């Protein structure tokens, strides 16, 4: 599904396909969810089930935003076809001034494109990183092999916890924590930094790929609640189209406050449940913990900013 080249549906069709709105000043709120995960990253539900849950919740639009991967989009798009508006998305792990930031990308599909190609490169560099870590450990006299690590990881993405488990089996560490403290943690002898896209580059690549971006759960890059406003100004300067103000973990009051700050900056307040299925119990697609209601007008506003 090469979405980045897909032409936008004509606006008139899109609006006609939505539920009729009352012809007065009041517009019924039809919620949307622009932040969900499936089994293609760290969720427990298939893309089809995420879409089914969105339909059952009465949403007008659902986005699937797996971490650094596009593989679930085709299935989700098929499940959504003709039943609910679907926005192909992704959640990127990027580096913002040395801080780990999550950036949501929308209308970036599974196919060749500047951002997609950059992610392939990063995935390859992660594979090399594991080889480098194993080599470093072997250089320290610990005779573990890459094969053992691959076996430990099974079909999943290989990470340091798998290497830590192998270290424990070799008696080189008492437990996972000890393995990180001695060898694998930041600054420890077998630590190798993970390559990440810089936030500004990710924003530019997303645009070149026909998409828009929004800073996910901004509390993860703000020092404190008071720091939000300052952080909003700084992230807006990156050129993002949105900031995720209607986030599942925020109170309705905080969501409103954040949305008004985003609006002041000309940035669109996006939102979603960050649904992960059983990995984040108590959170449901669309409604979050019961009090989430992301207004559908943000989808049109985001779409208007597509390059
Ligand atoms: Zn995230
Ligand atoms: Zn997420």
Residues 6+ positions from 15 with CB-CB distance below 8 Å: none
pLDDT tens-digit readout, 236-259: 999 999 999 999 999 999 999 999
Burial of 241 (0-12, 13-18, 19+ CB in 10 A): buried
Question: Same structural domain for residues 98 and 127?
Answer: no
Domain interval for residue 11: 3-17+28-112+209-304
CA angle, residues 7, 52, 307, in degrees to nearest 5: 20
CA of 216 to the centre of ligand 1 (A): 6
Note if the pTM is more than 0.85: no
Tell me which ligand sits closest to the C-alpha of residue 275: 2
The predicted pLDDT at position 28 comes to: 66
Confirm whether 140 is domain-assigned. Answer: yes
Residues 54, 83 within the same domain: yes
User: From the centroid of its chain, how far is CA 82?
Assistant: 25
Same domain, 87 and 218: yes
Asked if pLDDT for residue 5 goes beyond 60, the answer is: no
Q: How far apart are CA 199 and CA 100, in angstroms?
A: 9
- Mean pLDDT along residues 216-243: 90
Q: pLDDT for 263-272, tens place per residue?
A: 999 999 999 9
The total domain count for the chain is 2
For residue 43, which ligand has an atom nearest its CA?
2
| Confidence check: pLDDT of 153 > 50 | yes
Which span out of 95-99, 159-163, 194-198, 302-306 was modeled with the highest average pLDDT?
302-306
220 and 72, same domain (yes or no): yes
266: left (phi over 0), alpha (psi -120 to 50) or beta: left
> How much distance in Å is there from the Cα of 19 to the middle of ligand 1?
31
Q: Which ligand is nearest to the CA of 35?
A: 2
Give, for 65, the enclosing helix (H) or strand (E).
Answer: none
- CATH code, 142: 1.10.150.650
Q: Rounded to the nearest whole angstrom, what is the distance from the C-alpha of residue 36 to the centroid of ligand 2?
A: 6
Asked if the structure places residue 274 within a domain, the reply is yes
Q: Which domain CATH number covers 297?
A: 3.20.20.140
Do 259 and 276 belong together in one domain? Answer: yes
105/126 same-domain check: no
pLDDT band for 157, please (50, 70, 90 cuts): low
User: Which helix or strand (DSSP H or E) is residue 223 part of?
Assistant: none
Task: List pLDDT tens digits, range 100-117.
Answer: 899 999 999 888 899 999
Cα radius of gyration (the chain): 21
Q: What is the mean pLDDT of the chain?
A: 88
């Amino acid at each position: 599904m090469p979405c980045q080249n897909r032409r936008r549906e004509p606006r008139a069709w899109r609006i006609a396909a939505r539920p009729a709105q009352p012809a007065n000043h009041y517009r019924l709120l039809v919620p949307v969810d622009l932040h969900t995960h499936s089994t293609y990253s760290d969720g427990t539900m298939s893309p089809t089930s995420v879409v089914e849950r969105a339909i059952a919740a009465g949403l007008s639009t659902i986005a699937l935003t797996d971490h650094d991967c596009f593989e679930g989009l085709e299935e989700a798009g098929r499940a959504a076809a003709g039943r609910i508006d679907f926005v192909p998305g992704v959640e990127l792990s990027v580096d913002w001034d040395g801080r780990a930031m999550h950036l949501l990308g929308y209308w970036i599909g599974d196919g060749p494109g500047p951002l997609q190609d950059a992610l392939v490169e990063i995935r390859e560099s992660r594979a090399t990183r594991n080889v480098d870590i194993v080599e470093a450990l072997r250089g320290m006299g610990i005779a573990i092999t890459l094969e053992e690590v691959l076996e430990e990881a099974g079909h999943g993405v290989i990470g340091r916890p798998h290497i830590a488990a192998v270290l424990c089996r070799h008696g080189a560490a008492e437990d996972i924590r000890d393995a990180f403290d001695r060898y694998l943690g930041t600054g420890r002898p077998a630590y190798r930094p993970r390559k990440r896209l810089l936030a500004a580059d990710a924003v530019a690549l997303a645009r070149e790929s026909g998409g828009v971006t929004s800073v996910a759960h901004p509390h993860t890059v703000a020092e404190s609640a008071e720091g939000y406003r300052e952080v909003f100004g700084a992230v807006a300067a990156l050129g993002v189209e949105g900031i995720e103000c209607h986030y599942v973990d925020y109170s309705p009051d905080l969501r409103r406050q954040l949305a008004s700050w985003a609006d002041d900056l000309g940035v669109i307040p996006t939102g979603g449940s960050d649904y992960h299925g059983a990995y984040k119990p108590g959170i449901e697609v669309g409604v979050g913990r019961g009090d989430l209601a992301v207004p559908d007008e943000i989808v049109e506003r985001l779409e208007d900013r597509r390059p």
